[in-house]
Amino acid sequence: MFKKSIFIIIFLAFTCQNGWATEGLVDCKSLQEKTIKIEAWISKKHRKNKRTIKKEMGGVEGTKLNLRVYPMKDPQNVIGIGRCVTAAIGRHSIEQSLKYAGGVGTMVDQQIISPYWVGIGTMAFDEHSQKTITEEQLNSLRNPALSDIEFQNLVKKYSTPDKSVTMFGQDLPNSRRTDVTPAWEKKRAWDPKKPSKK
């Protein structure tokens, strides 16, 4: 029993040191092996404080920051959080978005972005790749008691866009989702490859 306890203690110490037990994210490298890239747009009104904001936003261990000033008033209130981003970095990014980028109104579908990437005020994704987030959902993501896995489960849930979208007066499959077949790939009645009914 004593040997088993010693083994467990040594195993936990080793995994914590390598960032596995602390992150607990499936198929993700530790922050010692892979850096989280944060790409952020900040509001124009914060231009004079860019250097200070850069230190604050990029001051989290395990991150690399690319910061830009939005040329107009505020950037899009969009945030994208990859599936290998820890809860601490994710919460930090949300707080920075609220403070310097005009807030968080929508989240980018986690399935279409890099696992080790955070986008604050990002404009790289269209509206069908995003999901509106409520204030209640946002507050639940800001909860410091969430583990990495709990945080990521919520991000996945809140960022997954609807399966269908309204376009040109029609309800069509959302082709931005990875699990939805686009409307143009479905067989049509006039498709010559489609077997005719006899």
Orientation angle between helical segments 148-159 and 87-100, nearest 10 degrees: 50
Amino acid at 91: R
Within the chain, what is the greatest distance between any pair of CA atoms?
A: 76
Burial class of 77 by CB neighbour count within 10 A (0 to 12, 13 to 18, 19+)? middle
Select from 107, 119, 40, 41 the least CA-distant residue to 73. 41
Query: pLDDT tens digits, residue range 71-82?
Result: 988 899 999 999
Pairing of strands 36-42, 170-173: unpaired
- Write out pLDDT tens, residues 118-143: 999 998 888 878 899 999 999 999 99
pTM over 0.85: no
Residue 161: band (very low, low, confident or very high) from pLDDT cuts 50, 70, 90: confident
Q: What is the rounded average pLDDT for all residues in the chain?
A: 81
Q: Are 84 and 29 in contact (CB under 8 A)?
A: yes
